[in-house]
Homo-oligomer: A and B are copies of this chain.
């Protein structure tokens, strides 16, 4: 198909210099368009009209390249640690991340999988930024650091779980969705999967945003009964005052 090689750049148009950002964003575009498997060094090189080996200047190896892609995606997520209404902020972040995941569904496996093979401290910094900022948000709201961590865990755990759930039922394009879904369900032996088969219509229309929001309500109210901001930084911690401080 695309064996144009140098014909594109013949007349004067010099090859643009590569940069980590350029490499990562074309990698992301490729993953978005054709899936994770399409992202090979050779293919990406071809996409950039460069020798595959040149990529190693910008990512130590393929794994690092993948990390870079997830970092790039997570950078699209905005967090405002100074918002005093932490619950609203958590809600907003959750919905933002959900939209992000729907926009880059092929990246989600990386998002949930890469951290499993990398000790926390060794992860790309861009990946840890949300964690740090949410901790900041919660501590700022009056939680003790340890409690903030607990809240974060419950929150992010639930959030990731929801994303996995929703994406599992959404991969195919909405047009064929119902057909393929039902076709799939039809394959199931009626003896062994009566309930699942009966739920076909219900499965067909999944309102992810609503489900997420409802889950968040459960979680937040549940959390409120177990932990809440103490609102006066207790027993001897440093005066953590950031009103109008440097960002």
Given the interface pairs A109-B113, A222-B222, the reply to whether A169 lies near B120 with Cβ below 8 Å is: yes
Given the interface pairs A119-B171, A193-B128, the reply to whether A218 lies near B226 with Cβ below 8 Å is: yes
Given the interface pairs A125-B192, A135-B196, A218-B222, the reply to whether A120 lies near B161 with Cβ below 8 Å is: no
Q: How far is the CB of A34 from chain B (nearest CB, A)?
A: 13
* A75 close to chain B: CB less than 8 A: no
* A209 close to chain B: CB less than 8 A: no
CB-defined contacts of A225 to chain B, threshold 8 Å: 218, 221
CB-defined contacts of A149 to chain B, threshold 8 Å: 199, 202-203
Q: How far is the CB of A81 from chain B (nearest CB, A)?
A: 10
Evaluate contact between B215 and A120: CB separation under 8 angstroms.
no
* A165 close to chain B: CB less than 8 A: yes
Evaluate contact between B181 and A247: CB separation under 8 angstroms.
no
CA distance A221 to B144 in the complex (A): 24
Contacting residue for A181 out of B117, B119, B160, B186, CB 8 A: B119
Q: Mark A99-119, 1 if CB is under 8 A from B, else 0.
A: 000000100110011011101
Q: How far is the CB of A58 from chain B (nearest CB, A)?
A: 21
CA distance A168 to B153 in the complex (A): 11
Evaluate contact between B108 and A116: CB separation under 8 angstroms.
yes
Given the interface pairs A119-B181, A120-B184, the reply to whether A146 lies near B113 with Cβ below 8 Å is: no
Q: How far is the CB of A200 from chain B (nearest CB, A)?
A: 9
* A157 close to chain B: CB less than 8 A: yes
- The 22 sampled A-B contact pairs (Cβ below 8 Å) are A113-B113, A115-B168, A119-B181, A119-B184, A120-B168, A120-B169, A120-B203, A121-B180, A125-B188, A132-B194, A132-B195, A145-B195, A145-B198, A145-B199, A146-B199, A153-B211, A158-B215, A160-B160, A214-B226, A218-B225, A221-B225, A222-B222
> Which residues of A pack against B, CB within 8 Å?
105, 108-109, 112-113, 115-117, 119-122, 125, 128-129, 131-132, 135-136, 139, 145-146, 148-150, 153-154, 156-162, 164-165, 167-169, 171-172, 180-189, 192-196, 198-199, 202-203, 210-211, 214-215, 217-219, 221-223, 225-226, 246-247
10 further contact pairs, Cβ within 8 A, besides A120-B169, A157-B158: A115-B164, A116-B171, A121-B184, A125-B193, A131-B196, A157-B165, A161-B161, A161-B164, A218-B218, A218-B225
